[in-house]
């Protein structure tokens, strides 16, 4: 087998039809994994899976709202009945811009349902499956906002801080079951979400704002989804078998070099 092979492994990826999640799904499929794309939008999931299959990979689409535990458990059980789940990528998430005064209780609840409860639901459903086979890898998508203060990201920072500490807790509790649990903390990554955010909030200033946001990273540009996918591949491969309970910033120097 080649280095970082995922041949014969089954990987569940939430939010796997766009941005970072899609890049991870494509990368894992290219390394031999059977990728299960979980998305709230069925058409988006099926389109992403079709692309993977057309490229020679193995993939399946599942419609699932990660905020609803009954849906998550049903889908995970359906997948596990066909193939033991080796890898869970908790990538699905939503954002909100605003400080505490600009955060309504509805905003807080909306982010909690997806970014915290959604991660909990997926880990809750997968851990028992992984325990049964005495092994598995969970990778959660945290954020630089988990570790440092970011202006006008009150609710988002709250949820990503929770993702980080849930990662530590699960890594500690299930180390004897052969389950590794880590997280990745990206800075600003150039995804369709970023383009949509700029277009919505800065009409007519798209190019200027893209450049400005890019330069908030000390390295001088935004990250690429493929770069996050490469890190995810390493952490979920057997080559990373000695790594658990750790967060990995991929941030162009943001956390350490912005002081």
Q: Is the pLDDT of residue 259 over 60?
A: no
Query: In this structure, is residue 106 part of a structural domain?
Result: yes
Query: In this structure, is residue 256 part of a structural domain?
Result: no
- List all residues 6 or more positions away from 7 whose beta carbon is below 8 Å from its beta carbon: 1, 31, 32, 33
Residues 132 and 196 in one domain: no
pLDDT recorded at residue 85: 98
Query: In this structure, is residue 2 part of a structural domain?
Result: no
Burial class (CB in 10 A: 0-12, 13-18, 19+), 176: exposed
Q: What are 10's two structure tokens?
A: 């089954």
Average pLDDT over residues 120-148: 97
Residues 101 and 217 in one domain: no
Query: In this structure, is residue 124 part of a structural domain?
Result: yes
Residues facing 87 on adjacent strands: 11, 137
Residues 20 and 57 in one domain: yes
Average pLDDT over residues 11-28: 98
| pLDDT tens figures, 156-191 | 999 999 999 999 999 999 999 999 999 999 999 999
- The structure's pTM equals 0.96
Residues 215 and 127 in one domain: no
| pLDDT tens figures, 40-52 | 999 999 999 999 9
Q: Say how many C-beta atoms besides its own lie within 10 A of residue 82's C-beta.
A: 11
User: Is pLDDT larger for residue 193 or for residue 113?
Assistant: 113
Average pLDDT over residues 113-132: 97
Burial class (CB in 10 A: 0-12, 13-18, 19+), 159: buried
Query: Is the torsion defined by CA of 10, 236, 112, 172 positive or negative?
Result: positive
Query: In this structure, is residue 4 part of a structural domain?
Result: no
Residues 44 and 66 in one domain: yes
Domain that holds residue 143: 10-187+224-249
Distance of CA 18 to the CA centre of its chain: 11
Residues 28 and 127 in one domain: yes
Residues 70 and 95 in one domain: yes
Residues 97 and 110 in one domain: yes
CATH of residue 164's domain is 3.40.50.720
Residues 110 and 36 in one domain: yes
Task: Catalogue the active-site residues.
Answer: 156
Residues 153 and 213 in one domain: no
Query: In this structure, is residue 215 part of a structural domain?
Result: yes
Query: In this structure, is residue 5 part of a structural domain?
Result: no
Query: In this structure, is residue 43 part of a structural domain?
Result: yes
Residues 42 and 149 in one domain: yes
Residues 79 and 140 in one domain: yes
When divided into structural domains, the chain yields a total of 2
pLDDT recorded at residue 130: 98
Burial class (CB in 10 A: 0-12, 13-18, 19+), 163: buried
| pLDDT tens figures, 186-228 | 999 999 889 988 998 899 999 999 999 999 899 999 999 999 9
d(CA 216, CA 150): 11
């Amino acid at each position: 087998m080649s280095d970082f092979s995922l041949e014969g492994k089954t990987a569940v990826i939430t939010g796997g039809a766009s941005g970072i999640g899609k890049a991870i799904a494509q990368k894992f499929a290219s390394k031999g994994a059977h990728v299960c794309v979980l998305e709230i939008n069925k058409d988006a999931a099926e389109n992403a899976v079709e692309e993977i299959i057309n490229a020679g990979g193995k993939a399946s689409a599942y419609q699932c709202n990660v905020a609803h535990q009954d849906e998550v458990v049903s889908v995970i059980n359906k997948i596990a009945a066909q193939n033991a789940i080796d890898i869970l990528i908790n990538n699905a998430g939503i954002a909100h811009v605003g400080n505490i005064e600009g955060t309504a209780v509805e905003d807080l609840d909306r982010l909690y349902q997806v970014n915290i409860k959604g991660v909990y639901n997926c880990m809750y459903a997968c851990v028992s499956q992984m325990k049964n086979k005495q092994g598995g890898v969970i990778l959660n998508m945290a954020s630089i906002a988990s570790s440092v203060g970011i202006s006008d990201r009150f609710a988002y920072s709250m949820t990503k801080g929770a993702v980080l500490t849930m990662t530590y807790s699960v890594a500690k509790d299930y180390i004897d079951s052969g389950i590794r649990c880590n997280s990745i903390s990206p800075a600003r990554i150039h995804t369709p979400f970023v383009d949509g955010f700029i277009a919505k909030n800065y009409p007519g200033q798209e190019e200027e704002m893209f450049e400005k946001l890019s330069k908030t990273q000390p390295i001088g540009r935004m990250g690429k989804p493929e770069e996050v996918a490469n890190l995810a591949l390493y952490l979920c491969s057997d080559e990373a078998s000695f790594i658990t309970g750790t967060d990995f910033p991929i941030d162009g120097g943001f956390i350490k070099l912005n002081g």
